[in-house]
A and B are shown apart, each in its own frame.
Chain A
Amino acid sequence: MLKRRVFHEFRRHNRSSRWNADAHLRAHERSANVEDDAIMRVDTCQLAANNPIEDFYSAAKCLSSRAFLFGVFDGHGGQQCSRHISTNLYPYLCASVLKKHEIGNYPPDQRLEWLFSSSDGHLPNAFKSRETRNISEYHKEFKKNANAYTGTVREALKLAFETCDRDLGDNALPNAKGVIDRHAAMVAASGSCCTLAHIRSRHLHVANLGDAAAVLGVVNPNGSVTARQLSRAHCVDNADEVHRIRIAHPASESQTVLRGGRLLGELFPLRAFGDVRYKWPLDLQKVVLEPLGHPPPQHLYTPPYLSTSPEVFYHKLTPNDRFLVLATDGLWEWLDPDTVVRLVHDHTLGTITQQPYVPKSGTTLRQVREQLKERAKGEQRTKKPIDENCATHIIRHALGGVSGGATKQYERLIDILQVVPPGRARNYRDDITVIVIHFNETFLDGHEEDEE
């Protein structure tokens, strides 16, 4: 009797903790059927480790160029900057549509159509009007800049990123009355990495700043899937980045500019929005930031140290390109691109990679055949993944592991989700944000009507 109760209790507990884990994972998942041009569907999911979360994501469409914009933003030193960028970068991007890509006559402030975003976008009115002014100024400036306006998407993206960051910094400066906007200063003092995909028809640009990454899933003719990385992390592991920073500063600083794998011994990503502590000169920081409790970093001799110029990769989408995964570094700590791509591919096929069949002792060869047949049938029926959302599927496997079956996976998940509450979880894992963009194969297979 007692045994049975213990068993029931155990089972109930087991079930409820599984349910909890699922709920926790799925709390911030979102799925959108776009079915427009090259985009079929978008799955996103987010899992917090910081409290409040510092990761943000958003997706929008630029009506003027019919380009889709997807971005993940990984904040550090507070959530203000990533939150700000996740909504305010997009107007700049919409304002920098190349002349040849302009469709219709949209004024710069009516070009943006939001698909979704993890931040609300509510801003103080005063702030908002300033933003609108900034944008229209930028738009004029962009149109005048013959080089950019008639140039390439790559240049336009760079200009938008840089201007957005410049305005973000300028907002934090004291106004004519010498008053500092506290909120704007907080935005400027914190920082954000960003990986942004710009998809216009079959032209994919990925602009990257910092250590988030974009990976394209390419299906080979033989059915296997390979990962193509469309971004490079801007951190100390990237020899080119290290070189770039070292030559930008005098040799006397060679000991201090990168210490312990960090910029000035403090900042891990080597490119980011915000973080004006690494951009502004010392005297300005003393006036604006120090009173707010942000002392300048040591060894600040020749700012700026931090760049906001994104690295832009171009890829022309083919019918073999099935999906694009954008994710913050929280994910890449757990999974390598190949595994992620395989997980997404298996998920879209509706299958789980199974453990190899091993016959139990005593089975005859005829029974082996029957069991194999059963398995093959079962594969079609029960192999449905637990999550419908592809991004959740990835996070589940990132934290629960890829091997060992569902039970083992739940064990690990419960371990990592329940025991450690958000906030303290930061010691074990980072915020994770994943966007999976599924491409429309038929569209990509079709003939190209717009050629550049």
Chain B
Amino acid sequence: MIGHRLAKWRLSRSYTTAVANADVVVCGGGISGTSIAYHLAKRGKKVALVEKDSIGCSGATGLSAGLVSAPIFWQDTSLQAIAQASLDLYSHLAKTCKFRYVKCGRTYLASSMANEILLRRMYSRGVVHNDKVELLDCQSEMLERWPFLQTEDVQLALYSPEDVALDPVALCQHLALIAKDHGALIYESNPVLEVHIGDEKQVYGVSTKMGFIETSHFVDAAGIWAGSHLVKALPHQHVQTAAYPCTYSYIHTSKLPTGSVSDMTPIFNDLDGNIMLRTTSFKTLCAGFSEESIRPLARQTGSATPWQHPEPDWNVFDSNLEKLISRCPMLGECNHGDLIVGMEAYTPDKLPTIGESSQAKGYWVMCGMNGQGLSLAGGLGKVLGELMCESQSSTADVARVDVGRFIDLHANSQYLIGRTPEVAALTYSNLYHSHQCHTARNLRMAPIYHQLRDAGAVFGEIMGYERPLWFEKTAKSERNALMSGQDSLVGKPDWFERVASEYEACRERVGLMDMSSFSKYDITGEDAVEYLQFLCSANVDEPIGTTVYTGMQHQKGGYVTDCTLSRLGDKKFFMVAPTIQQERVLVWMKKWQAILKARVHVQDVTGAYTALDMIGPSSRYLMGDITGLSMSSNDFPTFRCQEINIGMATGIRAISVTHCGELGWVIYIPNEVAQNVYEKILEAGKEYSLQHAGYYTLRQLRIEKFYVYWGQDINATVTPVECGRLFRVDFKVRSIFSFFMRESGEFQKDFIGKKALEEQVERGVSKRFVQLLVDGHDKETDPWPQGGETILKDGRPVGLTTSAAYGFTLGCQVCIGYVENKEFGVSPEFVSSGHFEIDIAGKRFSCRLNVHSPSLPMISSEHPLHYRPTQ
């Protein structure tokens, strides 16, 4: 009885008085948790690392094979940078600490054309940094080097020397030790019980089994348990994350019965078989990633639940085993070993998730490693450390990995259960921008989805929204209208002829495009103008009816986003931003609204409007016909907006900006009248041979006109000066709002980032966006540019392409990319002199460079004054 009372008293005491306080509490002792704890401790933060079991031993890290992929694997440059940072960290640690670290390298094998091109592309991006990367196309040479493999059907092998096999548990323990040396507190066997949030949803402390820790920052790096911590004040009682646990399986067996394997034998990844093999002098690990062998697990509830291995299922692993034995026949002689089923958190887009949750201030997440935890967590810890301490990362652009890329639907369990097994199956596949998943589709659809489908649309998903990519000529009603997989990397893609025809319609007649996926916001309120003047780099205080294209910059001048702002009233703006910005921009605007205490109301109205883009010279007459208004260049010039009626429908917002540099209008139709208006447009459009066009046409149009897009070409690391959009920045703008800049110690009255931009103008830039016209490219047989190709000047790498398309008017492949000259800056001479080439999958093509939008000739009678996006 007394003991009971005592225990009760102790318990209550431990809750009332904090056992510790810390700048940051990190939950999770896996590679993610120890990495972020290490980086924060090194930055001088007081860190408390809380692990429910022991460091490195439980969770996905403890069960992993300890393989680290070199940056060459990733197509995306920021992931390359993150992977490189991980490798740098681990190799640095390996020099000072004692743990198993073997730089064994990795060999990728391709036996199909598609994967061969993938490897060639991997090679051309890898060889820039490391000349030890090898390509092998001779089967007997492969056999000689790796006699235990069956190489007859292998078309191409790529050897990447940088890949590492290490001891993940020891690595975590060393990271934790170093963090401890820098003052971090490490609590093992101490699960997090609750994260407390108070006023304005700010984290103020964390309850753990050992007691309460006072802190204002909590990093959730709990792996498959991420997002399961109790947060009582939130509607779901926990922070919602877009990561979901799935199984993955591998066999752990004895050494191959041959003398030709050693610890230095590379890891093998057979891209066509989707299998992986790691052989050493004392064991063999073999994994397979066939989609049917992966199953989603129940969402983990409460971090206190123990790690339980799912039951191994040999039946579902059989298809993998078949491929493994056919690739390495000797494996058949090994003992059956153990089939190990691990769990790992996967995200809808196969990229990790870091950043501050918008649901609670000070609640940071670092989860969803998609089976690449070791390869990425080291660098992600560094990036997250930079985000937490400096609010911007200098290591890598975070747009593709931050939490802001997700909206609510991505955190829905049903959505994730559908999607994540497919993602897990793609662990060692290289995905390009055209890649589409086949699971969890048809979630968000425009009201006119079925009409578009009947008209032949082939859909691609973006943020859960199905948008038409192109239109088939003869559409069968029974067909699968959802694109899945990715475009061929070599030769003309399937859609080429169709897009050519849609392109022609948009250039010479009129095309109709569904643009409903774009993010849309209503910004209203007393301070709307002043507030936007503070956020935007262009002058938005223009008369009602004006549309302004502007960037929103952060303090360092980079684009948080670009957008068009249409002034609908004295204190009412309608904002349109890229699709993928739906959450990120909202969070940015709300953050500044709170800081400035501005009296504005920002409302996300993305789902309320169907957007139809009418593109092309005849759009003027078509718009005139359906609205009964004059659409002449005097009455409705470009960059104007107006609320109009079409037929019986009212409340339609027409904006004379097409997002691709052509004449035309985007009309934003309230969803309930969208079908009515759509039919009306089709009816009236017959006279002008109106044709449906898809997103791919928009892409060809805008790239040919050197129209950079946020998220594809530009991002938070790019400033208007670098991408030729300085003419959109108005340095004279003043806002009544001011913000005390801690760094400079003075009040800032200008738009955010003005100072950085001015400095950049003064100093000149070391990076410049250019348009590249590729010469000598045979579109039938050559590999097509995809973005991410190396740009070379006189044989030396100077930059990368960011997106690419076929220029139907220019008659060649067109890329957008940047050239860089870190030491001396990019001067006009730098761009105009020298011989430029790009390297597409190992093949070099000469290029002509444009720094401004080219003027494109037209065949039809009316030659509208062309809007030139890049000047």
Binding site for B on A (CB under 8 A): 356-359, 361-369, 372, 375
Contacts A366-B325, A368-B336 known; 8 new A-B pairs at CB < 8 A: A361-B336, A364-B334, A365-B325, A366-B333, A369-B332, A372-B314, A372-B318, A375-B315
A356 touches B336 (CB 8 A): no
The smallest C-beta distance from A284 to any residue of chain B, in angstroms, reads: 59
User: CA of A20 to CA of B788 in the docked complex: distance in angstroms?
Assistant: 74
Query: Pick the contact of B321 from A356, A358, A361, A365 — CB < 8 Å?
Result: A365
Determine whether B337 belongs to the interface, using a CB cutoff of 8 Å to chain A: yes
B276 at the A interface (CB under 8 A): no
Residues of B within 8 A of A366 (CB): 325, 332-333
Q: Is A365 touching B331 in the complex (CB atoms < 8 A)? A: yes
Closest beta carbon of chain A to B295's beta carbon, Å: 12
- Pick the residue among A357, A361, A365, A375 that contacts B334 (CB under 8 A): A365
CA of A358 to CA of B313, assembled, Å: 8
A-contacting residues, B301-357, CB 8 Å? 311-315, 318, 321-322, 324-325, 331-337
B253 within 8 A of partner (CB): yes
Pairwise interchain contact A356-B315, C-beta atoms closer than 8 A: yes
B510 in contact (CB, < 8 A)? no
A369 to B325, CA, bound (A): 9
Residues of B contacting A365 in the complex (Cβ-Cβ under 8 angstroms) = 251, 253, 321, 324-325, 331-337
* Interchain Cβ contacts within 8 Å, total number: 49
B367 to chain A, nearest CB (A): 28
Q: Give the Cβ gap from B276 to chain A, nearest Cβ, in Å.
A: 15
What chain B residues lie within 8 Å of A375 (beta carbons)? Answer: 315
A358 cross-chain contacts in B, Cβ below 8 A: 314
A366 to chain B, nearest CB (A): 3
Complex interface: chain A residues within 8 A of B314 (CB): 356-359, 368, 372
Q: Residue of B at shortest CB range from A362?
A: B335
How far is it, in angstroms, between the C-alpha of A362 and the C-alpha of B334 when the chains are bound?
A: 9
Q: Please, how many angstroms separate the alpha-carbon atoms of A367 and B336 in the complex?
A: 8
Q: Report yes or no: A364 in contact with B336, Cβ–Cβ below 8 A.
A: yes
A residues near B312, Cβ cutoff 8 Å: 356
A367 CA / B337 CA spacing, docked (Å): 12
Please give, as numbers and ranges, the residues of chain B lying within 8 Å of A372 by CB-CB distance. Answer: 314-315, 318, 321
A and B contact pairs by CB, cutoff 8 A, 6 listed: A356-B312, A364-B333, A364-B334, A365-B324, A365-B332, A369-B321
Residues of A within 8 A of B322 (CB): 369
Indicate which residue in B313, B318, B335 contacts A364 across the interface (CB closer than 8 Å).
B335
Inter-chain contacts of B311 with A (CB < 8 A): 356
Cα-based distance from A358 to B332 in the complex (angstroms): 17
Residue in B closest to A379 when the chains form the complex, CB atoms: B315
User: Which of A358, A361, A363, A365 has the most C-beta atoms of chain B within 10 angstroms of its own C-beta?
Assistant: A365
Neighbouring B residues of A361 by C-beta, 8 Å: 336
A residues in contact with B321, CB < 8 Å: 365, 368-369, 372
- Per the bound structure, the CA–CA distance linking A106 and B736 in Å amounts to 90
Chain B residue numbers with a CB within 8 Å of A359 are 314, 336
Q: Give CA–CA (A369, B313) in the complex, Å.
A: 13
Q: Given the complex of chains A and B, what is the CA–CA distance between A368 and B321 in angstroms?
A: 9
Q: Which residue of A lies closest to B286 (CB)?
A: A365
- The smallest C-beta distance from B487 to any residue of chain A, in angstroms, reads 29
What is the minimal beta-carbon distance from A415 to any residue of chain B, in angstroms? 29
B391 CB to closest chain A CB (Å) equals 45
Instruction: Give bound CA distance, A375 to B318, whole Å.
Output: 12
Ranked nearest first, the 7 interchain pairs of A and B with the lowest CB-CB distance are A366-B332, A359-B336, A357-B314, A372-B318, A363-B336, A368-B336, A365-B332
A372 CA / B332 CA spacing, docked (Å): 14
Chain A residues in 8 Å Cβ range of B336: 359, 361, 363-365, 367-368
Contact residues in A for B315 (Cβ distance below 8 Å):
356-357, 372, 375
Nearest B-chain residue to A358, judged by Cβ:
B314
Q: Which residue of B lies closest to A370 (CB)?
A: B332
Residue of B nearest to A360 (CB): B336
A361 to B254, CA, bound (A): 13
Q: Judge whether B318 and A369 touch: CB under 8 Å.
A: yes
Taking CB atoms, residues of chain A closer than 8 Å to B313 are 356-357
Q: How far is the CA of A367 from the CA of B321 in the complex (A)?
A: 11
Whole-angstrom distance from the CB of B414 to the nearest CB of chain A?
13
B406 to chain A, nearest CB (A): 26
Contacts of B335 in A (CB 8 A): 362-365
Tell me, rounded to whole Å, the shortest Cβ–Cβ distance linking A80 to chain B.
Answer: 51
Bound form: Cα–Cα A110–B565 in Å: 79
A359 closest partner in B (C-beta):
B336
Cα distance A375–B337 in the bound complex, in angstroms: 20
Taken together as a complex, chains A and B put the C-alpha atoms of A372 and B320 apart, in Å, by 13
What CA separation (Å) do A356 and B341 show in the bound complex? 14
B325 proximity list for chain A (CB < 8 A) = 365-366, 369
Question: Looking at B315, B334, B337, which has the most chain A CB atoms within 10 Å of its CB?
Answer: B315
In the bound assembly, the distance between CA atoms of A356 and B314 in angstroms comes to: 8
Shortest beta-carbon distance, B570 to chain A, in Å?
Answer: 53
**Hey, what's the 0/1 contact readout for B253-280 against A, CB within 8 Å counting as 1?**
1000000000000000000000000000
Q: In residues 228-263 of chain B, which contact A (Cβ within 8 Å)?
A: 251, 253
CA distance A139 to B589 in the complex (A): 74
Give chain A nearest CB distance to B18 CB in angstroms. Answer: 46
For B338, the closest partner residue in chain A by CB is A359
- Which chain B residue has the least Cβ–Cβ distance from A363? B336
Chain B nearest CB, measured from A313 CB (Å): 27
Chain B residues whose C-beta falls within 8 Å of the C-beta of A367 in the assembled complex: 336
Nearest A residue to B253 by beta-carbon distance?
A: A365
A358 to B315, CA, bound (A): 10
CA gap between A359 and B339 in the complex, in Å: 10
User: Nearest chain-A residue to B331 (Cβ)?
Assistant: A365
Given the complex of chains A and B, what is the CA–CA distance between A372 and B251 in angstroms?
16
Query: For residue A363, which residues in chain B have a CB less than 8 angstroms away from its CB?
Result: 335-336
Q: In the complex, what residue of chain A is closest to B336 when comparing beta carbons? A: A359
Min CB distance, B839 to chain A, in Å? 42
Q: CA–CA, A369 to B312, complex, Å?
A: 15
A356 to B315, CA, bound (A): 8
Instruction: Give the docked Cα–Cα distance between A356 and B335 (Å).
Output: 19
Bound-complex Cα distance A289 to B22 (A): 82
CB distance from B534 to the nearest CB of A (A): 52
- Once bound together, how far apart are the Cα atoms of A98 and B322, in whole Å? 63
How far, in angstroms, from A362 to B335 measured CA to CA in the complex? 6
Closest chain B CB from A69 CB (angstroms): 40
Q: In the complex, how many angstroms separate the beta carbon of B648 from the nearest chain A beta carbon?
A: 34
CA distance A298 to B801 in the complex (A): 91
Q: Which residue of B lies closest to A367 (CB)?
A: B336
B314 and chain A: residue at smallest CB distance = A357
A362 — which chain B residues lie within 8 A by C-beta? 335
Instruction: Give, as a whole number of angstroms, the nearest-CB distance from A351 to chain B.
Output: 13
Task: Give bound CA distance, A357 to B321, whole Å.
Answer: 14
Residue of B nearest to A373 (CB): B318
Kindly provide the distance from the CB of A400 to the nearest chain B CB, expressed in whole angstroms.
23
Q: Which of A358, A363, A366, A375 has the most CB of B within 10 A?
A: A366
Assembled-state Cα–Cα distance A362/B336 (Å): 7
A324 to B336, CA, bound (A): 44
Closest to B251 in A: A365
Q: Considering the chains assembled together, what is the distance between the CA atoms of A363 and B318 in angstroms?
A: 15
Q: Roughly how many angstroms separate A137 CA and B331 CA in the complex, as a whole number?
A: 83
Specify which of B324, B336, B337 lies most central, judged by the most chain A CB atoms within 10 Å of its CB.
B336
| Residue of chain B at shortest CB distance from A357 | B314
CA distance A387 to B783 in the complex (A): 61
Give chain A nearest CB distance to B508 CB in angstroms: 45
Question: What is the CB-to-nearest-CB distance from B421 to chain A, in angstroms, rounded to a whole number?
Answer: 12
Instruction: Say how far A360's CB is from chain B's closest CB, in angstroms.
Output: 8
A430 to chain B, nearest CB (A): 35
Q: Which residue of B lies closest to A369 (CB)?
A: B321
Give A92 to B640 CA distance when docked, in angstroms: 76
Q: A369 — which chain B residues lie within 8 A by C-beta?
A: 318, 321-322, 325, 332
Contacts of B334 in A (CB 8 A): 364-365
Measured in the bound complex, the distance between the Cα atoms of B236 and A78 in whole Å is: 54
In whole Å, how far is A147's beta carbon from the nearest beta carbon of chain B? Answer: 41
Residue from A357, A358, A362, A368 having most chain B Cβ neighbours under 10 A: A368
Residues of B near A357 (CB, < 8 A) are 313-315
CA distance A173 to B779 in the complex (A): 97
